[in-house]
Amino acid sequence: MKALIIDGQNNHDWKTTTPLLKKYLEETGLFEVTVATTPPKNSPDDMWSGFAPDFKSYSVVVLNYNGEDWPAGVSSAFEAYVRGGGGLVSYHAADNAFPKWPEFNSMIGLGGWGGRDEMSGPTMPYSNGKWQPDHDRKGAGGHHGKRHPFVVANRNPRHPVMQGLPERWMHGEDELYDSLRGPAAHMTLLATAYSAPEFDGTGLDEPMLFTIAYEKGRVFHTTLGHGGDAVHSVDFIVTLQRGAEWAATGKVTQKVPADFPTAEKVSLRP
């Protein structure tokens, strides 16, 4: 299958993470990966004319992008691609992008920063076995406390992406996103993490991995993977690989590797 990674603008080190994402997808043996890089910020319009991916020729698009709006023709082609049944993976700060693009926010379900606030939609903490949409809470959407290793809890062990993964595992040092907001429609929760007040968190179980059904499209959203240990953490790699396959096909054929972390110990690959 063909996969497309989009990068080029980000407040994160996309020049380091894109080659890792590409390697991880190719290691599955399922994907042939192309990278489309946008022009840098403040580029003249004619440079943007070179950014026109043929989305529909891909099985999955992975966003490693958090930057300026795309040209209108690119945005509308992207919407048509996902609406028509395309696969999409939103990776970490990709959910910071495009706060004013309603269809994008519907695709990713929840996002953060970029001026998002209660007008963007509810926050979606988890308790008592389900999402608990908070429509009353005011304030900014998107926050994280101090980076630290943390436990991720599998909340949907029957979902293809999560089947065979342990109930809990340790994720390598990362930003634990909290208070994301968005339209929050047609979402399926896969995994949460407790955002501990001692690390400047919310004291709530926050969504880490989830999916969104956007028209006929399948979207896998991972909030994980800031950089450093986070992008070498085996659970990040495996959930990205499985999420990408699921977004592309609706199924997961990959086995869970023996080095998947336990509830006690982080597992990193070089």
Which residues lie near Zn ion (CB under 5 A)? 175, 226
- Shorter beta-carbon distance to Zn ion: residue 218 or 226: 226
CB of 93 to Zn ion, least distance (A): 5
Check the CA dihedral 189-92-240-2 and report its sign.
positive
Which SS3 state, helix, strand or coil, does residue 84 take? coil
Query: What is the length of the chain?
Result: 270
Nearer to Zn ion, 17 or 120 (CB): 17
Which structure tokens are listed for 90? Answer: 């939103």
CA proximity to 97, closest of 190, 194, 209, 12:
12
How far apart are alpha carbons 264 and 30 in whole angstroms? 31
Residues 6+ apart with CB under 8 A from 136: none
Query: Smallest distance from the beta carbon of 213 to Zn ion, in angstroms?
Result: 26
What amino acid is encoded at 24 in this protein?
Answer: Y
Q: Whole-number minimum distance, CB 227 to Zn ion, in Å?
A: 7
Nearer to Zn ion, 174 or 205 (CB): 174
Q: Are 169 and 263 in contact (CB under 8 A)?
A: yes
Residue nearer to Zn ion on the CB measure, 26 or 173: 173
The two tokens of residue 264 are: 């006690």
Spatial distance between the Cα atoms of 244 and 19, rounded to a whole number of angstroms: 16
Residue placing its CB nearer to Zn ion in the complex, 181 or 226: 226
What residues contact residue 61 under an 8 Å CB cut-off, 6+ apart? 3, 4, 5, 6, 53, 55, 78, 81, 86, 87, 88, 89
Q: For Zn ion, which residue has the nearest CB?
A: 226
**Residue with smaller CB distance to Zn ion, 53 or 225:** 225
C-beta of residue 82 within 8 angstroms of C-beta of residue 220: no
